[in-house]
Structure 1
Amino acid sequence: MKLCVIPGDGIGHEVVPVAVGVLQAVLPGLQLVFADAGWETFCRYGKALPDKTLEAARACGAVFFGAVSSPMQLVEGYRSPIVQLRRELGCHANIRPTLSLPLTVCRQGIDLIIVRENTEDLYVGDEQFDGEVAVAIKRITRSASLRVARSAFEMARHAGRQRITIIHKANILPRTDGLFRDCAREVAQDYPEIVVDEMLVDTAAMRLAQAPESFDMLLAPNLYGDILSDLVAAFGGGLGLAPSLNLGVTAAIAEPVHGSAPDIAGQGIANPLAAILSAAMLLRIWWQRPELALLVEQAVRATLDAGIATPDVISPGVSTQHLARAVIDRLKQEQG
């Protein structure tokens, strides 16, 4: 087994090594290949995703991608490396679970998964500007919509999920969002055991804010899924606890949802649990080792049950390394 490790920027350099250490604890023979991407890489080499990084990612198949910084204004030649990497590796489905953890900052009773299409929509980055009018292209294709819908329904079947809610805004965008919804409905016919409903994205945002525990799985186009998954993460303890996996046919990218957090980078207090839980998703979904994923998740829960967490979720909290040692110690205890 090989893993391409891309720490990225900011706290990525602090939390990614922790997650990699957890993976090595359960997969002693794991081979690591380190590569660069992100804003710092762009400043050094003129490319946010160098060719050699892309080659390493393709060769390994499995990738762990840390947070990257991005400029808030247009910088000539800069493209989001994670968006480019997802597209280049064909990682068409972004999977973001939210599960209540034993923390006072978590809303209890939540166990939902948002699956978002990961390669198109407004994220194709096709914009024009003539000095007066700016236009962004929203691209939805039948092939990509069918593909992500199939992945979502297969995941629901294997995970024993009972309901998928299709998210769209087809009342305003009948051709693009309507196409996405219709493709999802078409795929749903092959999964009669799964209840399917649909919801406008604005209504879904309100319902998620009111009663996130009422949802099971959501299937959404790229932009809506990105926004809604961050909304739900607030009920799961915040972005420091929010894992994700970008899934394709020939590659998968584990990616904690949080950003590079330059305000706390280097202070040793970054929360590594989103990274660790992303590693568990890599184990369960990509490497098909659910028993190892369960061990990691149980170690995380046991650590939190013991009152050990970083300052973003518990006051006063412990350091990144303190939390990392606690999780790995519990993992070793579980392994006997």
Structure 2
Amino acid sequence: MGGGVSSLNVQLRKELDLYASLVNCFNLPGLPTRHDNVDIVVIRENTEGEYSGLEHEVVPGVVESLKVITKFCSERIAKYAFEYAYLNNRKKVTAVHKANIMKLADGLFLESCREVAKKYPGIKYNEIIVDNCCMQLVSKPEQFDVMVTPNLYGNLVANTAAGIAGGTGVMPGGNVGAEHAVFEQGASAGNVGSDKILEEKIANPVALLLSSAMMLRHLQFPALADRLETAVEGVILEGKYRTKDLGGTSTTQEVVDAVVAALD
């Protein structure tokens, strides 16, 4: 924080123009959570907003950080969200914003979403202010389907949704652009104490395995993706092999071996 090199993750997304972040938060059979029937896809604009990296110190003790919102990027992420909903038989797209305060920046994002929504009459469209969104997520998450957000809000919403649906260790994610795609664990809030987790070899591999299934589906190998997802879900449902974050005592390798055995 406050100095050093810029985030390599952010640089990778900008260099490869991975403009859409996709996090799927859903209940896994056999994994008890506070809420049932959670199946949320958070689609987040990945290249601008507060992550533009335009910060400078105006005078000592006063820092200015610029949030950039463009019509091009807003329309592009809105189109991706509605196209995803259409192709995956989803019924509703919710735009998350703070346009009541940031009338120009978030107002432009909303305007773009509304224009794109008109081209998809079969998909319900609504809007929600980000603070109300967080409250609704932790009280009635089943009301959400596909959510489309600017950069920073999406980071917060995706991690909140992941916590509701079983934790960051089981949520898959991807970063997608026109030419390239990178798949990784969908939520990052679980990285606290990662050195200890690494040392004890108890990191949960489920999120990365399910992200791999997302990658297979992106590469148009749906049968292989289904096979991997079925194996992972079978291991979780059985409950014999689970890492510490899911209430078990298994190591990372033991969970992976169990998934490999389930594949066979």
Q: TM-score, normalised on structure 1?
A: 0.74
2:245 aligned partner: 312
2:221 aligned partner: 289
* Alpha-carbon distance in structure 2 between the residues aligned to 1:288 and 1:190: 26
* Alpha-carbon distance in structure 2 between the residues aligned to 1:184 and 1:94: 16
1:148 aligned partner: 77
2:19 aligned partner: 92
> Of residues 100, 109, 134 in structure 1, which corresponds to 2:37?
109
Is 2:90 aligned against 1:161? yes
2:147 aligned partner: 218
> Of residues 41, 50, 56 in structure 2, which corresponds to 1:122?
50
Is 2:137 aligned against 1:242? no
> Of residues 189, 193, 205 in structure 2, which corresponds to 1:272?
205
* Alpha-carbon distance in structure 1 between the residues aligned to 2:101 and 2:35: 33
* Alpha-carbon distance in structure 2 between the residues aligned to 1:314 and 1:93: 33
* Alpha-carbon distance in structure 2 between the residues aligned to 1:304 and 1:92: 32
Does the Cα contact within 8 Å between 1:165 and 1:198 map onto a contact in 2?
yes
Give the 3-state SS of the residue equivalent to 2:51 in structure 1.
helix
1:69 aligned partner: none
Deviation beyond 4 Å, 4+ runs, structure 1: none
Gaps of 5+ in 2: none
* Alpha-carbon distance in structure 2 between the residues aligned to 1:73 and 1:182: 34
Amino acid at match of 2:113: A
Larger strand percent: 2
* Alpha-carbon distance in structure 2 between the residues aligned to 1:73 and 1:167: 28
Gaps of 5+ in 1: 1-71
Does the Cα contact within 8 Å between 2:40 and 2:161 map onto a contact in 1?
no
Percent sequence identity over aligned pairs: 39
Q: 1:132: how far off?
A: 2.3
Q: TM-score, normalised on structure 2?
A: 0.94
Does the Cα contact within 8 Å between 1:100 and 1:106 map onto a contact in 2?
no
* Alpha-carbon distance in structure 1 between the residues aligned to 2:36 and 2:261: 27
Paired residue total: 257
Does the Cα contact within 8 Å between 1:105 and 1:313 map onto a contact in 2?
no
Amino acid at match of 1:118: N
> Residues 27-55 of structure 1: CA distance to partner in whole angstroms, max 9, x if unpaired?
xxxxxxxxxxxxxxxxxxxxxxxxxxxxx
Is 2:261 aligned against 1:323? no
Does the Cα contact within 8 Å between 1:117 and 1:220 map onto a contact in 2?
yes
Q: 1:263: how far off?
A: 2.7
Is 2:187 aligned against 1:254? no
Amino acid at match of 2:40: L
Give the 3-state SS of the residue equivalent to 1:109 in structure 2.
coil
1:64 aligned partner: none
* Alpha-carbon distance in structure 2 between the residues aligned to 1:269 and 1:219: 33
Give the 3-state SS of the residue equivalent to 2:147 in structure 1.
strand
